A and B are shown apart, each in its own frame.
Chain A
Amino acid sequence: MRAAAVAERAGIPSVSLVCQGFAGQASSTAAGLGFTHLPVAIMPGHVNMQSYEELKNNILDVTVGQVVKGLVEEQGESTGPDPEPQAREVVFTGSFEEVNDFFYAREWSDGLPIVPPTIDKIERFLRFTDRAAQEVLGVLLCDRREATIWNVAVNGVMAGCRPAYMPVLIAIVEALADPKYGLEHSGNTPGPETLIILNGPIIKQLGFNYEQGALRDGFRANTSVGRFLRLYLRNVAGFLPHKTDKGTFGGTWRVVMAENEDVLAEIGWAPLCVDMGFASGDNVVTIARYTGGDTIANASGASAARIMPYIADAVLRANLGWHLTFTCGMVVGTLRPLVALSPLIAGTIARSGWSKADVRQYLFDHARLPAHEFDRQLFQYLHGADHPLRTLEERVRLGEIPKLFCESPDPNRRVPIVLSPDDFMVAVCGDPSRDNAYAFSHNGFIGYPTAKRIHLPKNWESLLREEPNR
């Protein structure tokens, strides 16, 4: 739809080919792009599940007629936008339950009770930033709405955050607004969910959990900030299930994952924010989207050499199939697998004399699969035999992808899932007394790792002292 909208603005009529179940998303997306209506031509059912004959019959019987109609029938004028409230305008007055019913009916709530966003509560959040309430952090797709300091605070209140979390919330939205992150793809059908990774002294200052249960709810900071991001995607970016969010299953918001920087300092490994271009000791949020992941349970051993093969296998398994399209399929080199190591595992690896760079190099060398299997998964699972995508060997020969994917003609040669060891991301958190790890399945450029510094207000320390129950 975005391409169609560009054509229409250039004065060229368009029609978009849309599978049957996606007409609603097309309509909502068109509205976000400024068009009351953009013509679509429906392809009945889903094209992925049809034989060639079925596909041909559907296209010829249904779709082509709508293509013609979309290109020759006048679409009518765009209607003006519906009036909307101003930022500080009171839109409703009611009891706690009435407010929640009001918000839920308008799809401003995730279904859990929200904290009513009153002006006094919002203003308490605004004390924790030096930035003006009306400052625009970016314009977010798919709805093309302004992300402002004000509406960050509003959604932070609703999520149950404390005012002191405001600097973290702002940094998260700045990351969402960064084009590198790919926010506009947040309604895609694999339905990956954003993970927020936190670094810096702010972890302890605000009481984020980074130990046992690092990915579990129950800790106000981790839980409410994670919920905030999903509310923000709903209310400001405009991603709504059954409309612009087409996650087949989706997933619910993830709690913030904070690193254990004490352990990192003990073992001489830099925190993840350093890998993202910041310095150790900086307060940083990193966000990326993952379709899922799996616990690597019982990654035991007294040495790195004993532990790492299991870790590498698990990281590979978590990033096969669909994820290979981000290695050398739809795009090249955007897969950034993340593995979270418990402090016990990281410490054991470090005592073997391994640095974090050594871990990444090992993963690069061993999280590999045979080239013929890479091609098979791309073509058999993801793209048809007639797809213009070529094999790894052909693409190397044509100079489209790096030579490391075809260092010999042997189809059993083992090829990596990333372009460089630095593409692997390694974090340390979780129960310090257990040998489990977690491998996340990354969603490539559709949620590319993006990091932002957390900026604190000038009087941060005194504000923290004043704020009760932070």
Chain B
Amino acid sequence: MARKQNQGKYQVVWPRGKKVVERTAPARRLESLNGKTIAELWDFVFRGEEIFPLIEAELSARFEGVRFLSPERFGNTHSIEEREVLAALPDRLHELGVDAVISGMGC
């Protein structure tokens, strides 16, 4: 039995662990998508092969000069290689001149 202290009460501690994540501000947003390069990051499930083309077509109609880089350029973001894909991602995004990312699919 746990030792009861203070007139039959239990003094208990927190079951969690220290959070070590660094609070980060989101990146600055773009003023417009005109002329921007947008990377598509995908986990290759949940009909991305249909959704991304729909988004591309609509954004191309709304914004002049917007271009898209397909998910195959970056690798599967939810696979056994996820850690490697994400580790290489910043350099890859900068190398390709990416201005924005659309990442899917959270389903």
Give the complex CA separation of A139 and B3 in angstroms.
Answer: 32
Q: Is the CB of B46 within 8 A of A34?
A: no
Q: Of A35, A75, A99, which contacts B29 at CB under 8 A?
A: A75
Query: Which residues in A have their C-beta under 8 angstroms from that of B94?
Result: 10
Give the complex CA separation of A43 and B55 in angstroms.
Answer: 12
Known interface pairs A18-B107, A67-B102, A73-B29; A12-B93 also in contact (CB < 8 Å): yes
Q: Which residue of B lies closest to A237 (CB)?
A: B17
Give the complex CA separation of A88 and B2 in angstroms.
Answer: 16
In the complex, what's the smallest C-beta–C-beta distance from B92 to chain A, in angstroms?
A: 10
A450 at the A/B interface (Cβ < 8 Å)?
A: no
Give the complex CA separation of A140 and B27 in angstroms.
Answer: 25
Query: Which residues in B have their C-beta under 8 angstroms from that of A179?
Result: 83
Query: Which residues in B have their C-beta under 8 angstroms from that of A388?
Result: 44, 49, 72
Query: Which residues in B have their C-beta under 8 angstroms from that of A330?
Result: 43-45, 76, 78-79
Query: Which residues in A have their C-beta under 8 angstroms from that of B85?
Result: 3
Query: Which residues in B have their C-beta under 8 angstroms from that of A78?
Result: 23-26
Give the complex CA separation of A59 and B54 in angstroms.
Answer: 7
Query: Which residues in B have their C-beta under 8 angstroms from that of A87?
Result: 13-14, 18
Query: Which residues in A have their C-beta under 8 angstroms from that of B24?
Result: 8-9, 34-35, 78
Give the complex CA separation of A96 and B9 in angstroms.
Answer: 7
Query: Which residues in A have their C-beta under 8 angstroms from that of B13?
Result: 85, 87-91, 117-119, 122, 154
Give the complex CA separation of A88 and B29 in angstroms.
Answer: 42
Q: Is the CB of A331 within 8 A of B79?
A: yes
In the complex, what's the smallest C-beta–C-beta distance from A139 to chain B, in angstroms?
A: 5
Query: Which residues in B have their C-beta under 8 angstroms from that of A236?
Result: 15-17
Per-position 1/0 for B87-107, Cβ under 8 A of A? 001100110001111111111
Query: Which residues in A have their C-beta under 8 angstroms from that of B5?
Result: 93, 118
A395 at the A/B interface (Cβ < 8 Å)?
A: no
Known interface pairs A13-B30, A74-B28, A78-B24; A94-B10 also in contact (CB < 8 Å): yes
Give the complex CA separation of A151 and B17 in angstroms.
Answer: 7
Q: Is the CB of A90 within 8 A of B12?
A: yes
> Number of contacting residues on A, CB 8 A?
111
Q: Is the CB of A72 within 8 A of B32?
A: yes
Query: Which residues in A have their C-beta under 8 angstroms from that of B86?
Result: 2-3, 6
In the complex, what's the smallest C-beta–C-beta distance from B41 to chain A, in angstroms?
A: 5
Give the residue among B85, B105, B106 with the most A Cβ atoms within 10 A. B106
In the complex, what's the smallest C-beta–C-beta distance from B24 to chain A, in angstroms?
A: 5
Q: Is the CB of A72 within 8 A of B31?
A: yes
Query: Which residues in B have their C-beta under 8 angstroms from that of A140?
Result: 17
Query: Which residues in A have their C-beta under 8 angstroms from that of B3?
Result: 118, 120
Query: Which residues in A have their C-beta under 8 angstroms from that of B79?
Result: 330-331, 445
Q: Which residue of B lies closest to A108 (CB)?
A: B15
Q: Is the CB of B15 within 8 A of A235?
A: yes
Q: Which residue of A lies closest to B45 (CB)?
A: A330
The stretch that binds B, out of A48-56, A277-285, A431-439, is A48-56
Q: Is the CB of A17 within 8 A of B106?
A: yes
Query: Which residues in A have their C-beta under 8 angstroms from that of B98?
Result: 12
Q: Of B50, B90, B106, which contacts A19 at CB under 8 A?
A: B106
A387 at the A/B interface (Cβ < 8 Å)?
A: yes
A46 at the A/B interface (Cβ < 8 Å)?
A: yes
In the complex, what's the smallest C-beta–C-beta distance from A238 to chain B, in angstroms?
A: 8
19 extra interchain contacts, Cβ-Cβ under 8 A, other than A72-B30, A74-B29?
A4-B41, A35-B23, A43-B105, A48-B46, A52-B50, A64-B58, A68-B33, A78-B23, A96-B10, A108-B16, A115-B2, A121-B2, A145-B18, A146-B18, A151-B17, A154-B13, A231-B15, A236-B17, A331-B79
Residues of B near any A CB (own CB < 8 A): 2-3, 5-6, 8-33, 38-39, 41, 43-47, 49-51, 54-55, 58-59, 62, 72, 76-83, 85-86, 89-90, 93-94, 98-107
Question: What are 10 A-to-B residue pairs whose CB atoms are below 8 Å?
Answer: A3-B103, A4-B103, A33-B21, A43-B107, A47-B46, A68-B62, A72-B31, A108-B16, A115-B2, A144-B19
Residues of A near any B CB (own CB < 8 A): 1-4, 6-19, 22, 25-26, 32-41, 43, 46-48, 52, 55-56, 59-60, 63-64, 67-68, 71-81, 84-96, 98-99, 102-103, 108, 115-122, 139-140, 143-148, 151, 154-155, 158, 179, 185, 189, 231, 235-236, 330-331, 334, 382-384, 386-389, 445, 448
